[in-house]
């Protein structure tokens, strides 16, 4: 059974997609053993509680440095005997210690087709604002392994989404979440849990 730890910061719709996929058996041989929120107000915490998944807050503000915060997250994931860390709308920095202790065992969902619209500063709505500004006709989402390069790790899955006339960043974000993120993140976890994807 793959023990999954999910890192969240906001609404938690990607967390919900994982929870639902496990319930619907679209993900097998995996369980979420902990949810770690960087923000005490993250609605993702409520989603975890509704499904009796232990959730804690490890906020950057509670620590004197990025390194100390990173060590706290790392210690927690190791204490919970996590096999795979999933960043699902997580906005805090994942530091060297976590990346080295969980080498090739951290995945992230990014709301574009990497290498477009990714890297430092590209998160949340900003990604979709940049896509609309550039005028791309197709965007999408990417699941990738997290390494020391921001959004630079090996790509596991991608799914394309059409940009439609009149799209606002909010409308496009919602379509990318519905048509891509909420599908490929659970699919990637299922592949890893069932050893169809050796990472
Ligand atoms: C989404 O835009 C997602 O692509 C990005 O974070 C945002 C919020 O995700 N990774 P969630 O609803 O908190 O899962």
pTM strictly above 0.75: yes
Q: Sheet containing 106-110: give its strands across.
A: 55-57, 30-37, 2-8, 84-87, 106-110, 138-145, 155-162
Q: pLDDT tens string for the chain (199 positions)?
A: 999 999 999 999 999 999 999 999 999 999 999 999 999 999 999 999 999 999 999 999 999 999 999 999 999 999 999 999 999 999 998 999 999 999 999 999 999 999 999 999 999 999 999 999 999 999 999 999 999 999 999 999 999 999 999 999 999 999 999 999 999 999 999 999 999 766 6
Q: Measured from the CB, is residue 190 less than 6 Å from ligand 1?
A: no
pLDDT of residue 62: 96
Q: Is the CB of 14 under 6 A from ligand 1?
A: yes
Query: What is the number of other CB atoms lying within 10 angstroms of the CB of residue 35?
Result: 28
Active-site annotation holder among 51, 76, 110, 144: 110
pLDDT the model gives residue 199: 64
pLDDT at 6: 98
- Determine the pLDDT at residue 108: 98
CA of 114 to the centre of ligand 1 (A): 16
What pLDDT, on a 0 to 100 scale, did the predictor assign at position 59?
96
pLDDT confidence of residue 81: 98
110 is known as an active-site residue: yes
Residue pointed to by tokens 């006709």: 137
Give CA–CA dist 135/86, Å, rounded.
Answer: 31
Specify whether the CB–CB gap between 4 and 21 falls below 8 A.
Answer: no
| CA–CA separation, 117 and 1 (whole Å) | 35
- Model pLDDT, residue 198: 60
In 3D space, the residue among 22, 19, 28 whose CA is nearest the CA of residue 88 turns out to be: 19
- How many angstroms separate the Cα of 186 from the Cα of each of 5, 18, 193? 13, 5, 10
What integer pLDDT is reported at residue 93 of this predicted model? 85
pLDDT at position 77: 98
Strand boundaries in 77-189, DSSP class E: 84-87, 106-110, 138-145, 155-162
5 lines ligand 1 (CB under 6 A): no
């Amino acid at each position: 059974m793959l023990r999954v730890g999910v890192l969240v910061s906001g609404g938690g719709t990607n967390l919900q997609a994982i929870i639902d996929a496990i319930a619907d058996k679209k993900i097998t041989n995996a369980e979420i053993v902990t949810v770690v929120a960087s923000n005490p107000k993250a609605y993702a915490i409520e989603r975890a509680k509704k499904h009796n998944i232990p959730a804690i807050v490890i906020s950057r503000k509670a620590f004197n440095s990025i390194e100390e915060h990173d060590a706290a997250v790392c210690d927690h994931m190791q204490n919970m005997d996590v096999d795979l860390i999933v960043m699902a709308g997580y906005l805090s920095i994942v530091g060297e210690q976590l990346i080295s202790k969980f080498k090739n065992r951290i995945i992230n969902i990014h709301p574009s087709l990497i290498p477009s619209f990714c890297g430092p500063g590209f998160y949340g709505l900003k990604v979709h604002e940049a896509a609309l500004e550039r005028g791309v006709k197709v965007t999408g989402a990417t699941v990738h392994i997290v390494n020391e390069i921001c959004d630079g790790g090996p790509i596991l899955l991608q799914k394309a989404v059409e940009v439609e006339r009149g799209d606002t960043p909010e409308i496009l974000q919602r379509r990318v979440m519905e048509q891509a993120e909420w599908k490929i993140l659970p699919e990637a976890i299922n592949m890893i849990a069932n050893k169809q994807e050796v990472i």
